[in-house]
Amino acid sequence: MATAGAVTRAGHGSMSARRRKPSEAVARVALTAAVLTLCLAAPAWCDDIPTPEEAVEKARALVRQGQQSDAEVYLSELVSEEDGPHAGNAIVLMEAARLADSAELVRAYAARAIERTRRDAILEAAHMLRGDSYFAENLYITASQEYEAAARHSSRRGPGPAELKRARSILAAGDAGAAVEAYRAIAEWGATPGEITPIAEIGLARALLAAGRTAEAAEQFDITARVYEEAEVRVRALAGAAESHEASGADSAAIAALKRLLADHPDSYEAVLARERLRTYSFADSTLLYDEASDTTAARGDTLESPEQ
């Protein structure tokens, strides 16, 4: 009986879904009919309506010319819920969302795009935009939910930017334990490291450090610094290793990581911080002092500005 009940419920659900589809189709037909009526009554008006692709290209051209506010107004008129000719077009709505000047408009346009399409690429982009807008307002839990929805529509084989942003949001929300699991799932996916694996490993180490698992964090940072050759990855890994070793009370290991950072990446912003950190240590053993060669760039490096996040 339980099986029959389940089938019955599934049948009702599918019938309900079928009933909804005609109403959506009717709405589209009504909109098309209204546009055709206007075209017949005023052909010139119809000629002025751009295609979705033309509308997007014109808006982008305005942005390239430094007229972003004009582009925003142009698209807002096209997608107006009252009489906009592209009020139901997901492509134009997404472009309006990207150019919107407030988080509320970004989310509103993206939500309307989600309602009006089944294309995974658009759905993924719309949820990503909504997630970014929530994250910018420090609404991290809601942002993580949007990124999770975006990931479900991704065509990638394996984790991608949506999963990374979801893990970052979870960590920013203060749930370090859940962030550890989220980052670990990304870092350990697949038999070989992928494009985002080192970023996930750095995130995993950061989450471990936030969770108070300092020794594990230091170990993860050390492994990442050894495995990857990319300067940006190694700099972040060495800086994180020094921080984690210091938090664990392993000052010698922290100093060693800072010295490696200075020797290998003397011109980085992190090297400036490393020099300052080394100067705060009191060394009983002079062999722990960083060598003079690694400090030759101090004069030109100590004024470096922080890179953009």
Closest CA to 309 of 248, 251, 232, 249: 232
The residue length of the chain stands at: 309
Residues 172/140, Cβ–Cβ less than 8 Å: yes
The three state secondary structure string of 172-185 is: HCCCHHHHHHHHHH
Token look-up 């200075």 returns 262
The answer to whether the beta carbons of residues 222 and 236 sit under 8 Å apart is no
- C-beta of residue 131 within 8 angstroms of C-beta of residue 148: no
Instruction: Tell me how far apart the alpha carbons of residues 159 and 171 are, in angstroms, rounded to a whole number.
Output: 17
* pLDDT averaged over 10-residue windows placed end to end, the chain, 309 residues: 41 42 50 50 60 95 95 95 92 96 96 96 98 98 98 93 97 98 93 86 98 97 94 95 95 94 93 90 51 47 47
The answer to whether 186 touches 167, Cβ cutoff 8 Å, is yes
Measure the CA–CA gap between 97 and 99, rounded to whole angstroms: 5
Say if CB 255 and CB 249 are below 8 A apart: no
Report the interhelical angle of 197-210 vs 231-247 (nearest 10°): 20
Give the per-residue pLDDT at 194.
82
Q: Which residues, 6 or more positions from 23, have their beta carbon under 8 angstroms from its beta carbon?
A: none
- Predicted pLDDT of residue 37: 54
What per-residue confidence (pLDDT) applies to 23? 54
Half-sphere exposure of 53 (CA within 13 A, CB side): 0
